[in-house]
A and B are shown apart, each in its own frame.
Chain A
Amino acid sequence: MKTQSYIQKKGLTAKDLVTIGIFTALLWLTMLIGGLPMAPNPITTFYMPLSAALLGGPVFLLLVAKVPKRGPIAIAGILIGIIWFATGMHWAMDLGYVLGGIIGDLAAGARKYRSVKLNILAFVFLSLGATGSYICYFADPVSWSSYMLQGGTAASYIETMNTTAQGWMPAVIILGTIAVSAFSGWVGSKLLKKQFEKAGITE
């Protein structure tokens, strides 16, 4: 009698949930370590999504390799969103991660979570979540800061705000995040092949 092993069970088992918890902890940590150094500086803070995505690829890909089912990516996004919310981060970033996780889960699910390229794409979606607050800013830069001016706005100031917003920054942030997260995912795929699959820790 060949017995039903855990992998064959549909839905997430306790082992899957524990694995998700552990690897989401690692994933969040990579975002913290990558992103935090950029945050306090006014010039580099806009590039935080890029550095936050730099280290997470290998962790993300290993998670999907260990639990190739519907759920882990979305749950990771939701948990990361909750943790960022609980630490006081901007709501758009929190929501961004939740959405990024859900969309990423759907993307990777198209090939049953076995396609490395789609898994990397899922990581890209997740990482784009961090751009949420910056998108809010670039969508309407004037109202972003107008309450600070309390009514008295210098015309020149508004002008420069608008020109900057239409400039290259938003594109750099979004495209940059896509590039960095794709690169991180690529490094992850190499590590998977070279080490983790050989070590027998993937499914």
Chain B
Amino acid sequence: MSRWLALEKRPDPLRWMPYLVPMASVVVALLSGAPILYLIGVDPWTAYRAMVWAAFGDLYGVSETLVKAIPLLLLGLGVGVAFRLGFWNIGAEGQFYLGAVGGTWFALSAPDWPALALQPLMLLMGFAAGAVWALVPAALRLYARTNEIITTLMLNYIAMLWIDFLVYGPWKDPQAFGFPFTPPLPQAARLPTLAGSRVHLGLLLGLVAAVILALLLWRTRLGYELRIIGWSSEAARYAGLPIARVTAIVISVSGGLAGLAGLCEVAGVQGRIQHGLSPGYGYTAIIVAWLARLNPWGTIVVSVLLGGLLVGSDMLQIAMGLPIAVAYLFQGLVLFSVLGLEVFVRYRVVWK
């Protein structure tokens, strides 16, 4: 009988595999990106070295990496917790924008408030706006059984068009010479930054959120309910778990964190809302969450890693004249490798 390569289920899923797969997938992504870079006419080795140097080579690089990591961390945590519930929230991008709008609205309508009063409420508004935007597909799934992958995705476009409407229309800064900007946020609304860098309060918020989520997942009743529903909604129904309530809470948190990310990007980095506020952070966050295996601690590490990838790709764009598409290409390759290598966690290759 001739022999073939075949996949066979592992008797015990390997313990160290979950950590190896994310590492291996980054390596695989870089390896498979090399021939593409070569075809564009760039030496892959030089390019990769330049990327790593730009992202992690000096203090400035690291700080820029962290600036990019902040939205990815908040978004990744939000997306991850929804995924754990079995709710495929692809709408982080839209929730990000809505959070930016909610907080900006508050900051612009209370320009004379002191920072200590303004900032907490502004952050809260950002969180709330993102949460409400996410609750729409959650309610549709709970009460109309719509597929949340479709609804969350569609709501992204609606959110983005709303932003465009605002920045080209009613919220357009009259002093911006026709550019699609809102007026700048009052100084009191600008988040405090780490001395001399652009790293802002959002980093702390993200780390605190990760700690709270980890506690929630593994130490609380809500976390237990969340995990059960995510594993088996049938079992959750059987045991009488409050599925609607848990879904509502978890999705509010998911959308809220995305909203917070959006607001932090406005109040911490850009200072105003503009067309194209997010370079697709909401989608990159899906890769972050998946690469971190939906684990809050892992999300911290992976968001820094992918933040570095973004900074590195910017470097390629600026210094080597490569198109921005190269960054998306690497993100795609990473996600593709994660999903592809995932199979080896549960299966092994055998000759048979």
> Do A and B actually bind?
no
* B residues adjacent to A (C-beta < 8 A): none
* A residues adjacent to B (C-beta < 8 A): none
